A = this chain, B = another copy of it.
Amino acid sequence: MGISTQDKIKIAARKIFIEKGYSGARTRDIAEEAGINLALVNYYYRSKDTLFKIIMEEKIDELFGTIIPILAKKDTSLIEKIDEVVDKYFDLLLKVPELPLFVINELRQENINSKIVNRLKVIFENKDIVKYLNELNPNLSNYHIMMNFIGIIIFPFISKPIFVSSSIIDQNEFSALIKTQKGIVSQLVKSLALINPQIK
């Protein structure tokens, strides 16, 4: 016996929602991708919206959950933490490069609920993480450090459509360029330590 119908639907929903976003995804797409009858989507998940919120929670954890256990560790140096986070992110995002753009876009569309909001708060207001990251550059606010830290790491994957959809580079070239990008990111993140917000 293989995968349950309920799981087939969830797996299909992940793919379709990530590919097309909430408003672009149709329940029929999901049913077809799952290879099951359309009515089963509602039978198991009640509505498109309910199913979406489940996937959205999952994806938020997948995207931001990565950093919590690493940054919150008590026995590693900040530099080690940074390198480990960069490593983990590149592993993850080479597999699912669409993840950051999907999550941020749906957050903007406010396709969220209080559970999702709380999940984000737990991550971005984690005291250990805030404390450790602050060591990187005490002159910068928590927000600026967090935002630039994440931004430097994930932007290569967010910007992918600019270069790939316009055929400036293709999938293979992207994968090759990302390898070099990892070293660049690692150095750029560390150069955050040298920033002085006072200087114009």
The interface of chain A, by Cβ under 8 A from chain B, is 20-24, 98, 101, 103-105, 107-110, 112, 116-117, 120-121, 124-125, 140-141, 143-144, 147-148, 150-152, 155-156, 158-163, 165-169, 177, 180-181, 183-184, 186-188, 191-192, 194-200
Given A194-B191, A200-B183, A120:B168 Cβ within 8 A: yes
Q: How far is the CB of A69 from chain B (nearest CB, A)?
A: 19
Is A159's CB under 8 angstroms from B163's CB? no
Given the complex, which residues of B lie within 8 Å of A116, measured CB to CB? 166
A148, A163, A184 — most chain B CB neighbours (10 Å): A184
Alpha-carbon gap, A198 to B107, bound state (A):
37
Q: How far is the CB of A1 from chain B (nearest CB, A)?
A: 37
Copies of this chain in the oligomer: 2
Is A140's CB under 8 angstroms from B183's CB? no
Alpha-carbon gap, A169 to B117, bound state (A):
12
A101 contacts which of B105, B186, B199 (Cβ < 8 Å)?
B105
Q: A21-B24, A107-B162, A147-B181 are in contact. List 13 more A-B contacts (CB 8 A).
A: A20-B109, A21-B105, A22-B24, A101-B105, A103-B162, A104-B159, A107-B166, A117-B167, A124-B162, A143-B163, A143-B177, A148-B155, A187-B196
Given the complex, which residues of B lie within 8 Å of A160, measured CB to CB? 108
Given the complex, which residues of B lie within 8 Å of A196, measured CB to CB? 187
Given the complex, which residues of B lie within 8 Å of A112, measured CB to CB? 165-166
A101, A155, A196 — most chain B CB neighbours (10 Å): A155
Is A169's CB under 8 angstroms from B143's CB? yes
**Smallest CB gap from A148: residue in B:** B184
